[in-house]
Amino acid sequence: MSAGPQHIARRVLPPLAVTGLALLAAFGPGISRQMPLTDVLLVVDITRSMNVRDMGGRGRLDYARDALRDWVAARPCGTRLGLAVFTERRSLTLFEPIEICEDFATISDTIEGLSWRMAWEGDSMISRGIDHAMTRARDMGVSVVFVTDGHEAPPLPYGGPADFRGESPGGVVLGVGGEDPAPIPKFDDLGRETGFYTPADVQHAPARIGAPPPDAAERPGYHPRNNPYGESDLEGEEHLSSLHADYLQQLAQGRGLGFARLSDGPAAIDRALAANAPADVVSVKRSLAPVLALVALLIMAGTWLAASPVMKYMRKEE
């Protein structure tokens, strides 16, 4: 017995519809709209203090990797992002700004691979690192997002950090770390953890460069020519580390940048960036491929249900 027209339609039309939707999605249809976007150079501190485990038992760098991936995933398509790492006084650019949706896998995988073992020096001159990152971002025509705990090693000179000289590209300093001083893990030449830094392992007194402190003449061992700084303190807490939020806010304010805590979440970071970085209004296309895929899935599910034994039995009962 030959199949009726309705039976043929039920068997032929759904596959044709699904095929048509798949072909339409392949052409990448979308809806364009105007949106303000801020391109950034993301710079991540990978110095030793970023290994301190005060982020819910996790290291600061481990926490930063996950938080930054979440932030990038929440940014609108069309945004471009470059990635760099900081140690000593400079930033090394891993890649220049690329579109975050088309290249999300590359961005995510590279962030996941960030490690303190990539550092080429042991110092952590935060103020100079921010200045260098700002210069790199300005040369790329983007803003800067600098992620750090603010721990200067060696300590700053008595006169404090130098002022930034140049045009600020705008951006945000993101602080990461706990409020209470915590020990810094120590590693051997093979990268194996051997304990924590002790007071004898680090320099505690401010660096002996620039102008001496105002009370230098009252310090033990002071000599106007041979020892204009007086004796250095041999004890201190530089072997411990915490988030230097006030210091980072000071640096950010003097450089035309905003400040936020990485733990505040993607929305708070975006608000700080929007308030402290220029944005370009660009035309962004929102893809309709997911909608087309959903419609095709519903058609396939409906076709399968219509042909299921349960539905056939119910039709016979009727």
CATH topology of domain 34-203+238-285: Rossmann fold (3.40.50)
- Domain segments of the chain as ranges: 5-29+288-317, 34-203+238-285, 207-236
Res 284 pLDDT > 60: no
Question: Helical H runs in the chain?
Answer: 5-26, 60-74, 104-112, 126-140, 245-253, 266-276, 289-306, 309-317
Mind listing the pLDDT tens digit for each residue in 177-189? 999 999 999 998 8
pLDDT of 234 over the 60 cut: no
Instruction: Name, in order, each residue with C-beta under 8 angstroms of 284's C-beta and a sequence gap of 6 or more.
Output: 32, 33, 34, 35, 37, 76, 77, 78
pLDDT of amino acid 62: 97
**CA nearest to 183, candidates 168, 201, 169, 197:** 197
- Sign, CA dihedral 293-295-299-304, equals positive
Core vs surface per residue 40-61: b (16+ CB within 10 A) or e: bbbbbbbbbbbbbbbbeeebbb
Say whether the peptide bond before residue 181 is cis (omega within 30 degrees of 0).
no
SS3 110: helix
The tens digit of pLDDT for each residue in 76-106 reads 888 999 999 999 999 999 999 999 999 999 9
pLDDT in tens, 298-314: 777 777 676 666 555 55
Query: Distance (Å, rounded) from C-alpha 43 to C-alpha 87?
Result: 10
Summarised one tens digit per residue, pLDDT across range 253-262 is 999 999 999 9
Query: Token digits for 106?
Result: 């590359």
Name the pTM for this structure: 0.79
Can you say how many angstroms the Cα of residue 78 is from the centroid of all Cα atoms in its chain? 17
- Where residue 15 falls among pLDDT bands split at 50, 70, 90? confident
Q: What is the pLDDT of residue 137?
A: 97
